[in-house]
């Protein structure tokens, strides 16, 4: 695999956006940050419209000085660029039913996540550009880093060109417009982004949940108190500090801040774990659950249930199951005593 191309401000041409009508669908985490960043670019003749239902998000957008349209179809009419920035599970219905029938030819559709494009859940008009500009940061950081003159990590890709050959240049102009080429936007694809996102969510972080749960249980059986375990394992924020240093200094280099006993223990201990079952599990999830589309199909079948406010909401069911672990029960007890512990 060749090294990925990294695009900077000098690779992008903001004049491509001059006079364009840009629609932000959604004014949440990413929508509010990206719309404000783009407005700050002061591009000549650009008009920015926000489409949102009449609620607190719409109020926020109006308070920030944006025009807000509640009728998504009306908002889509004549748009040159559509940023689709509503939650992934809401995108297919909103895009296919409310936006797509009103889009003009050569519109540029921008997604911030690869999921719906990769699994073909969006009815994308053939004569449209489809690009991904996917910040790797939460919306607040996309905004605050931009305001302080810094960039933020971002993936960029072209998934479809309308036929006029401009999709690549548009993707870079839009990335620059929202401040994403300042620190370098990495060339990617919806497939790559989806694989990495879902594998982290479905194998890497679940493994970490399971590892913490088992370590807690073993130490508790060996006589450690819940209080000591919670503080030792995460409440001290040591894991957060480790990951912060890993990002700043290097995944392995951060180890050098630890004692010799700790460095030796971690490096030697990692080599004692049989990598084969771990790798086999990750391969299985990637191939048979993610890339096969099995997960996407399963999630699509239950996504309506996530709106339930009763015990049947799938997340409530899962939280109930996890709440029975020794770690969860122990932490709940410790948190009840926390004010006393802090006194
Ligand atoms: P949010 O959850 O913040 O989106 C909220 C916005 O979506 C609001 O404007 C809300 O308005 C609107 N919305 C929600 N449901 C619906 C619906 N059914 N119909 C119409 N509008 C709806 O989304 P994010 O900003 O977190 O995510 C947007 C995209 O960005 C996603 O593709 C996500 O994967 C991607 N992304 C998100 C990141 C993050 O930090 N959160 C990081 C990188 C990418 P209303 O009041 O009408 O519900």
Q: What's the CA gap between 134 and 178, in Å, rounded? A: 11
- Closest to 26 in 3D by CA, of 63, 65, 70: 70
By the 8 A CB rule, do 227 and 334 touch? Answer: yes
pLDDT tops 80 at residue 343: no
CA nearest ligand 1 atom 28, residue: 85
The stretch 251-267 carries a mean pLDDT of: 98
CA nearest ligand 1 atom 18, residue: 90
By the 8 A CB rule, do 85 and 138 touch? Answer: no
- Closest to 57 in 3D by CA, of 98, 90, 92: 90
pLDDT band for position 317 (cuts 50, 70, 90): very high
Task: Tell me, using a 6 A CB cutoff, whether residue 132 lines ligand 1.
Answer: no
By the 8 A CB rule, do 84 and 111 touch? Answer: yes
Name the residue with tokens 């990335």: 175
> What number does the ligand 1 atom closest to the CA of 31 have?
25
| 48-69 per-residue burial string, b: 16 or more CB within 10 A, e: under 16 | bbbbbeeeebbebbeeeebebb
Eight-class DSSP state of 22: E
Task: Tell me, using a 6 A CB cutoff, whether residue 27 lines ligand 1.
Answer: yes
pLDDT single digits (tens) 3-52: 999 999 999 999 999 999 999 999 999 999 999 999 999 999 999 999 99
Quick one: pLDDT at residue 337?
86
pLDDT tops 70 at residue 342: no
Site to probe by mutation for ligand 1, drawn from 23, 24, 25, 30 as the one with most ligand atoms within 8 Å of Cβ, is 30
Task: Tell me, using a 6 A CB cutoff, whether residue 30 lines ligand 1.
Answer: yes
């Amino acid at each position: 695999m060749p090294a990925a191309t990294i695009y900077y401000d000098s690779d992008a041409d903001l004049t491509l956006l001059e006079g364009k009508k840009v629609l932000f669908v959604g004014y949440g985490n990413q929508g509010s940050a990206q719309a404000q960043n783009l407005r700050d670019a002061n591009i000549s003749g650009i008009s920015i419209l926000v489409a949102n239902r009449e609620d607190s998000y719409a109020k926020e957008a109006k308070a920030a000085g944006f025009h807000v349209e509640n009728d998504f179809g009306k908002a889509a009419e004549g748009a040159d660029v559509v940023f689709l920035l509503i939650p992934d599970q809401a995108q297919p219905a909103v895009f296919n039913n409310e936006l797509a029938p009103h889009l003009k030819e050569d519109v540029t559709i921008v997604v911030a996540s690869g999921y719906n494009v990769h699994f073909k859940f969006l009815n994308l008009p053939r004569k449209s550009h489809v690009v991904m500009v996917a910040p790797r940061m939460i919306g607040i950081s996309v905004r605050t880093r931009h305001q302080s003159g810094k960039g933020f990590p971002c993936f960029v890709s072209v998934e479809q060109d309308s036929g006029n050959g401009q999709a690549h240049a548009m993707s870079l102009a839009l990335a620059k417009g929202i401040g994403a080429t300042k620190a370098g936007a990495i060339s990617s694809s919806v497939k790559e982004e989806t694989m990495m996102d879902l594998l982290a969510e479905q194998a890497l972080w679940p493994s970490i949940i399971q590892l913490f749960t088992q370590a807690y249980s073993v130490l508790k059986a060996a006589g450690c108190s819940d209080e000591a375990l919670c503080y030792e394992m995460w409440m001290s924020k040591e894991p957060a500090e480790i990951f912060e240093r890993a990002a700043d200094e290097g995944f392995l280099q951060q180890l050098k801040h630890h004692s010799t006993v700790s460095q030796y223990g971690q490096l030697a201990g990692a080599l004692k774990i049989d990598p084969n079952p771990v790798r086999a599990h990750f391969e299985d999830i990637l191939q048979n659950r993610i890339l096969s589309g099995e997960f996407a199909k399963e999630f699509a079948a239950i996504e309506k249930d996530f709106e339930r406010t009763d015990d049947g909401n799938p997340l409530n069911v899962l939280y109930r199951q996890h709440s029975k672990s020794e770690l969860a029960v122990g932490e709940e007890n410790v948190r009840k005593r926390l004010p006393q512990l802090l006194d």
